[in-house]
Amino acid sequence: MIDYILLIKTILIVYTITRFEPLQWMLEFLPDNLIFNTIKLLLSCSKCLSLYLGSIIFMDLYVGMALSFFFTIFEKTIGKWLSRIDLRF
């Protein structure tokens, strides 16, 4: 049985990691080779990170695929609205 609280926590972790600006800035300073490019891809793409993190946490590939599908729908709908919001003062 899927623990729904853990599922929500996984969604929040993925969203926070992919949208956390200081982490994304630090990824830009990594050297340009295969290992670091893979790390950059996994930590900047919410669909990729949710697939791997969901599969690792729940030990089920189908949960990872469902989370990846959720983030695909999220990025196409709500993600567009969130990217237009500017919170600078």
User: Residues 50-86: pLDDT tens digits?
Assistant: 999 999 999 999 999 999 999 999 888 887 777 677 6
Q: Residue 75 domain-assigned?
A: yes
* Single pTM value for the model: 0.78
CB–CB of 54/9 below 8 Å?
no
Residue 76: phi and psi, rounded to 5, are -80, -20
Question: How far is residue 23 CA from its own chain's centroid?
Answer: 12
**Contact between 10 and 57 (Cβ < 8 Å):** yes
Q: Is residue 89 part of a domain?
A: no
The domain in which residue 58 lies consists of: 4-84
pLDDT digits (tens, 9 = 90+) for 25-44: 888 888 888 988 888 888 88
Q: How many domains does the chain have?
A: 1
Sequence-ordered alpha helix ranges (H) in 20-60:
21-28, 34-44, 46-58
Distance CA 33, CA 53 (A): 23
